[in-house]
Structure 1
Amino acid sequence: MSKARDDTRAEYRRKDLAPLVRGKYYKRVMVGSNLVLLQPEIHKAFPSSEAVNKASTPMAAFMHELQPLTAEPKRAAKKRVAA
């Protein structure tokens, strides 16, 4: 028996768990969620999704307002002159 197998609880080694498939719902979860990994010190300041959303909503609105001011100006296309 391998070392990992020896450290596994007996209830996880039962044969009825054999048909499980690793990553079966991976794509579904990735499409249906926005997971963000926070640094530990940030997590202490914002312990819930609601706290993060409440703090970031005004910042997102401000960034949206600034976008037209910070965007690069569009260049006018040069007209070709027939030779």
Structure 2
Amino acid sequence: MNNTPNSETNQNLEEDLLSEYNFDYTKAHPNRFATQINETKITVTLESDVAKVFKTSEDVNKALRAIISAIPQQ
């Protein structure tokens, strides 16, 4: 069996294709298999001495928010 398309097969495919398709997107559903990301998240690598103090991302976020609140607004 030959996997390379020949000219006869290509011609049949071209005849089956329309020049334009109109899709009704009102009937579309979200992809249930795609992950939903509502906010931007990044990964930061902590040095080992800092990681000993901050065990979770929540701890790091609390400390950074406290620092941010102490910075004067411009």
* Same-fold call, TM cutoff 0.5: no
Query: Greater relative contact order: 1 or 2 (C-alpha under 8 angstroms, separation 6 or more)?
Result: 2
The TM-score with structure 1 as length reference comes to 0.38
Q: Counting helix residues as a fraction of each chain, which structure ranks higher? A: 1
Bigger Rg, structure 1 or 2: 2
TM norm structure 2 = 0.41
